[in-house]
Amino acid sequence: MAEEYTNVQEEECTHDCSSCGASCSERAPRANLEEPMAGTVVKKMIGVVSGKGGVGKSMVTSLLSVAASREGKKVGILDADITGPSIPKIFGREVMATAKDENTLNPVITKTGLSMMSVNNLLPNSEDPVLWRGPILAGAVKQFWTGVDWGELDYLFVDMPPGTGDVPLTVFQSLPLTGIIIVTTPQDLVSMIVAKAVRMAEQMAVPILGIVENMSYMECPDCGKKLYPFGEGRAEELAKKYSISRVAHLPILPELASRSDAGDIENVPVDVTNAVKDLL
C-alpha cells in the first residue's frame, strides 16, 4: 500500500518542491536555495520552529535576538509567520517599512538597533487579516529574504509559523538555514509535536541546534521554590532521544508577558536572555 501511494505521488508530481512535502526519490533537500540581494551577508540563519501554535515561538525568537544583540552581534529577525505576525508588536515597532528602491525594502530598525521585517511592517493597519493562499504566503517569505537589504548580520532569526505546511517548507527549502531551534512546552502532548519537527528537519537536512522548553516552571514569590503548573517537562528526555545536545528552560514570568505587550522586549532582564544564550 505504501509503495502504491508513493508511486501515485511521483506520477502526479508537479516538480515544484517548494509546495510539496513528499519525501520522494526526486527530492534534493535544500537544492533550490534563494540568493539574497547583493550586499547581504548573513553568518548564521537560525529558524525558530514549533509543531503547534501557542507555545511562545515568537517570544523565544525575540529573546534569542536580544541575547545575541547584547553580546555585541548584528542581528536581524525575519518574521515568516505571515498570517500571525507578532514580532513588530513585541518590539514596539509597528511602523511601515520604507523602500530603498523599486525592488528593495529597508528593514525596520528596533530601538536598540536590531533589523526586522514582517508583513505587519507593510500593512497600514496591523489588525488587518492576511487572506492569502499558500503559494502567495510562500512567495512573501522568499521576498523577505531576497528583496530586503539586510546588510551584514551575524545572526538572522526566522520566526516560522507552527506546523509543517507551505511556509515552513518554503523556509526549509529556500532559505540557507544554519539550523533550527525547537520550542515546546511541558505537556505530554509535545513529544509527538517535537517528533514531527525533528523529522521534518531530518528530511530537509537541517541541523537541530537545541530545544527550548517554554513555560517550564514558575517560582514561588514567597519562598523561591520552583512550581510546575503544567507538570515537569520532558525536554531533556526528548533531547536525548533525538541526540539534541542543548536544552534551555524558560519560566513563566508575568514581567515577560507585560513587556511583550508593551513592545519593550529589549529591556527584559538579563537573566531571562541568559536562559537562552547558550543555544547560540
Distances (CA, A) of 45 to 61, 127, 171, 207: 12, 28, 11, 12
pLDDT in tens, the chain (280 residues): 333 323 333 445 554 444 454 545 444 566 689 999 999 999 999 999 988 888 899 999 999 999 999 999 999 999 999 999 999 999 999 999 999 998 999 999 999 999 999 999 999 888 888 888 888 999 999 999 999 999 999 999 999 998 878 899 999 999 999 999 999 998 766 678 888 889 999 999 999 999 999 999 999 888 889 999 988 888 899 999 999 999 999 999 999 999 999 999 999 999 999 999 999 9
What grid cell was written down for 53? 501554535
Cβ proximity of 156 and 78 under 8 Å: yes
N-term to C-term CA, the chain: 43
Distances (CA, A) of 170 to 52, 180, 235, 239: 17, 14, 27, 25
Show Cβ contacts of residue 251 under 8 Å, excluding neighbours closer than 6 positions.
Answer: 215, 216, 217, 218, 219, 275
Cell 530537509 -> residue: 204
Q: Which amino acid is at 65?
A: S
Distances (CA, A) of 166 to 92, 99, 132, 278: 28, 27, 12, 30
The structure's pTM equals: 0.87
Show Cβ contacts of residue 202 under 8 Å, excluding neighbours closer than 6 positions.
Answer: none
